[in-house]
Amino acid sequence: MEWLCLSKAMQHGDVEWETGIVATAHRMERLQETRSEAEARKTLAWNQAHGAFHEALVAACPSAWLLRTRAVLYAQSEHKRLMEAVLRRDEPAALQALEAHFFATVQIILRSPLLQ
């Protein structure tokens, strides 16, 4: 789904869309400068920046249906990460996955047409 949203975004994106991509990529890079990439990827800040980068990539997609479907699939991947961390008994990773999942859920709610 991500590739279809990205394809549509690339067809419809403007300079503001490009600016969002550059800004979110910059944020991820800066968060990695203070730690090794492996350590940075374990932090909530980096994971939020990573999610924002992927959101920025598809932001110009004009199809609300495609974007909603993509968001559902993204949330499901969060569930898998959470499940795997719990089964490994990796408490820090499980708590980070849970927090990332809650953050993603809040973002979906905030983008709901009912709140617009």
CA triplet 18, 105, 103: central angle to 5 degrees?
70
Residue 102 CA neighbour count, 13 Å, CB half: 6
User: 68: exposed, middle or buried (C-beta count within 10 Å: 0-12, 13-18, 19+)?
Assistant: middle
Residue written as token pair 């993603």: 104
Count: domains in the chain: 1
Q: Report the pLDDT value the prediction gives residue 116, as an integer from 0 to 100.
A: 56
Per-residue tens of pLDDT for the chain, all 116 residues = 788 999 999 999 999 999 999 999 999 889 888 767 677 777 778 888 888 998 999 999 999 999 988 888 877 787 788 888 889 998 888 888 888 877 777 776 666 655 55
- Domain of 77? 2-115
Give dist(CA 105, CA 108) in Å, integer: 5
Output the pTM of the full model.
Answer: 0.70
